[in-house]
Structure 1
Amino acid sequence: MEETNVHDNLMETCKDNNSSSSSPLSLFDSLNILTGVSIDTLSACRQVCREWCTLTHESYFTSMHCEKKRIILGYYIQNNKIRSSATFVSPNPLPSTISSMSLKFLPTRFPNIVASSSEGLLCCVSGQDMRIPQYYVCKPTTKEWRTIPNPKTSYFTEKIVMVAVSNPVRFIIVRFSSLRPNFCNNTLRIEIFDSKYNRWRRSKDIKLPHPTLILCGSAIFSNGAFHWLTNDDYVFAFDLNEENWRTILLPEEVVVMGEKNQKELVKYEGHLALFSVGDEWIDLWVLDATGFWNKRKTVVVNNPDQCINFSDLYTSDVAFTTGFDKAMWYNLNNHSRTEVAVKDYICPQDEMLPFRSDLEYCFLSSY
């Protein structure tokens, strides 16, 4: 079966079975099919039925899929004190054809990762070796790269986000900037770069209500919007298609707890979700299609020294966590850990950039 026809064939199978919510195939057959498809096709297969969506977000499937299709899945840890220092970590060994995930192939000594996409692309900015910053987009697994025009560099960058599609490759970058650093005037200048046109364009400014500030951390892209936590218990959401914004109040139970618990936006089976972390427990809240938060699960965690920072949801049952000198993948079901030591100490301000990539050339420099 040609992979380009997999999604259509599976959809027809489900229709013939008169089921829109459950898989007509056995678990073995489903695993055999789904672990053999590409990243792009997997995203489409998740829309076929609820069982496949659940299955393909679990850790045992992810491990099988990465091994079978030679997919690299992990995180770049961007050191915010030493902006030129970024470390890649993964619970899985790299394929034999990949010796390193460093960015030394870029034509700058000090690349700073400012955004990542789920299609294996990074947006980087040159560091200390250039007086005027230069923007790059690259694919580390194939060492492809290209420069893109600079935005208005006289403004201070507050946030940069990126989304990409493949076949053919196309990426969109959104830059949030201000006249003064650290959101001092609450007005954000919005610029959008589209690789199809190879230029930046100005979108309408955003005036945040005082004293709302967007907190540090990577954005969560879900349902066409980028999401960040704010300092006043809201989620700031920027809709990429409509180019407008809104705020979403956090669950009342989380708001009442105030600063007693750690809060992290994550993604759960494609939906925007929230980690609320206490000393010995984690609550997982998921935002449904109607805009209401539902508490999906509460997990008692084994964190006796309270030195683990829960940063992301790697799969639906494994959390990505960091300690002072290591990255960890914490299984929420059986409390097992996979640990990877890091050379540079991890600080709370460091940014964790999710990364997923195949090893296929995307002919990035052609666009």
Structure 2
Amino acid sequence: MRNQKLKGLEERRELWLPQGLLVEILWRLPSKTLAWVRFVSKEWKCIVSDRTFIRLQLKPREQLSGFFFQGRYEWCDGDVKSVSYISVDRDSTKVEKSVLNFLPENVVIMSSNNGLICCRSSFPCSKPVFYVCNPLNREWITLQWPNLTKDSSTALIFEPFKGQIDVSTDFQVVTVCQTYFEVEDEDEDEGEDGIQFSFNIYSSRTKAWTLSREVCICSHNLQKKGCAFVEGVVFWLTNGDYILMFDPENELSCLVMQPFPASELNFTPGMCVGEAEGKLQYVLISEDGLQVWELEDWSSSRWSLKRFISLEELEKENPKCMYHISEKLESHLTTDTFPWINPLSFKDTTLLLRISTDIYAFNFDTRKAKLLCPYSALGPNSMFSPIVIPYTMSLVPLG
């Protein structure tokens, strides 16, 4: 009887709500809502799962959903097993620990792009692999790579609309491997260590890895904060004055000078890189204020200042969490391993940052910091160089 009533309701709905109008309504909904809409009826599921609909729905810029967060051990060779997800699109924030539990093993998050996430097996592991997954529809693919090492950095490149009439599921995974060598110095008895970066590229089309002919020489390691992807190009922060850039399509790499070289400052500023409006963003907080620099030309390391908020303005508009910010920055930037305030990740207009022992989302449009969670909610090993990755939901399938 209940099934007959539901069938009758569906038939009556079809009489007064044409499919064209239904599509017009549904495509305006965010991906998170559409994930639940699929269970309303078979017709709705077919509409939402259709690639033409997905392309239509994703054309408007999807809002930032949240950030994945994973701590790192300071002295241990193993990996922290716990992965946290912090949402920023809710009125009340909840730290979720089970978002990636559909994967067959514990993983370390590496990169995110257009709703897909790339992660690797958690070490120690006898046969480590990569996973590319979509947490929203819980689909995943395993990538075999026998040379996977803990020190390698990885970026996911996924552009579902690039040169395609339909939604493309093709992606690439780029890994950066570091090889150390000694650089001879004529003025010193002993040479300094140099680093050669080499690049391996996986293509979902060929289902194979290739070693790029490109190499890049640097004197600094990559930071393990994650990476930024901008129009086919990947950027990684180093521990020095440069940002490593790699273009996998043209197999071209270079070192981009940061807007404020750390070697010219008398303190260690908090910084991170991100993306907004198709441009690389460099976020810096120092005794001068909160700054967002945009990369205009990577070949000449030309930057432009896009946003600036003085410390006085930050304190005035956020008195509860940024009180006495000038004094605290002055004392902590020069003495503490963990500064009092530290940018963690940036996407569009949202900056995830730690202030003292809490996590906040700072919106550059409103200039307000929203408390998300205490740092203790992210695990006991969350203070030391955590991996933080912005995430935007997507219905794009992997199959």
Shorter-chain TM-score above 0.5: yes
Residues 324 and 89 of structure 1: CA distance in aligned 2, closer, same or farther (over 3 Å): farther
Q: Is 1:310 aligned with 2:343?
A: yes
**Does the 8 Å contact 1:136/1:146 carry over to 2?**
yes
Distance across 2 between alignment mates of 1:33 and 1:103: 27
1:247 Cα deviation from its structure 2 partner: 1.7
- What letter matches 1:315 in structure 2? D
Distance across 2 between alignment mates of 1:224 and 1:128: 30
The answer for unaligned runs of 5 or more in structure 2 is: 1-18, 32-53, 74-78, 161-166, 182-192, 316-321, 330-339
Query: What secondary structure is seen at the aligned counterpart in 2 of 1:347?
Result: coil
Distance across 1 between alignment mates of 2:58 and 2:265: 36
- What letter matches 2:272 in structure 1? E
Aligned pair partner of 2:222 in 190, 214, 226: 214
1:202 corresponding residue in structure 2: 211
- What letter matches 1:268 in structure 2? A
Distance across 1 between alignment mates of 2:28 and 2:134: 23
After superposition, what is the alpha-carbon deviation per residue over 1:203-227, rounded to whole angstroms, capped at 9, x for unaligned? 1252414x23333321111132111
Distance across 1 between alignment mates of 2:26 and 2:261: 41
- What letter matches 1:172 in structure 2? Q
Distance across 1 between alignment mates of 2:391 and 2:307: 26
Aligned pair partner of 2:352 in 320, 329, 332: 320
2:128 corresponding residue in structure 1: 133
After superposition, what is the alpha-carbon deviation per residue over 1:7-39, rounded to whole angstroms, capped at 9, x for unaligned? xxxxxxxxxxxxxxxxxxxxxxxxx99966878
Runs of 4+ in structure 1 off by over 3 angstroms are 32-45, 178-181, 252-256, 323-326, 332-335
Q: Is 1:344 aligned with 2:379?
A: yes
**Does the 8 Å contact 1:78/1:353 carry over to 2?**
no
Distance across 2 between alignment mates of 1:312 and 1:217: 8
In the TM superposition, 1:233-312 aligns within 5 A as 233-251=241-259, 256-257=264-265, 259-279=267-287, 281-289=289-297, 291=300, 292-300=302-310, 301-302=314-315, 303=322, 304=325, 305-306=328-329, 307-312=340-345
Residues 128 and 288 of structure 1: CA distance in aligned 2, closer, same or farther (over 3 Å): closer
Distance across 2 between alignment mates of 1:121 and 1:186: 30
After superposition, what is the alpha-carbon deviation per residue over 1:90-110, rounded to whole angstroms, capped at 9, x for unaligned? 12239xxxx9752111111x2
In the TM superposition, 1:72-83 aligns within 5 A as 73-81=65-73, 82-83=79-80
The answer for unaligned runs of 5 or more in structure 1 is: 7-31, 46-55, 57-64, 67-71
Aligned pair partner of 2:86 in 86, 89, 114: 89
Q: Is 1:115 aligned with 2:99?
A: no
After superposition, what is the alpha-carbon deviation per residue over 1:175-211, rounded to whole angstroms, capped at 9, x for unaligned? 1124569xx65123321111111111111252414x2
Query: What secondary structure is seen at the aligned counterpart in 2 of 1:288?
Result: strand
Q: State the TM-score, normalized to the length of structure 2.
A: 0.66
Q: May I ask how many residue pairs the two structures share in their alignment?
A: 305
Residues 293 and 174 of structure 1: CA distance in aligned 2, closer, same or farther (over 3 Å): same
Identity of aligned residues (%): 18
Q: State the TM-score, normalized to the length of structure 1.
A: 0.71
Cα RMSD, aligned residues only: 3.6
1:130 Cα deviation from its structure 2 partner: 4.0
Task: Indicate the structure (1 or 2) with the bigger Cα radius of gyration.
Answer: 2
**Does the 8 Å contact 2:158/2:170 carry over to 1?**
yes
**Does the 8 Å contact 2:270/2:341 carry over to 1?**
no
1:331 corresponding residue in structure 2: 363
Distance across 2 between alignment mates of 1:334 and 1:156: 39
After superposition, what is the alpha-carbon deviation per residue over 1:270-291, rounded to whole angstroms, capped at 9, x for unaligned? 2112122114611221122585
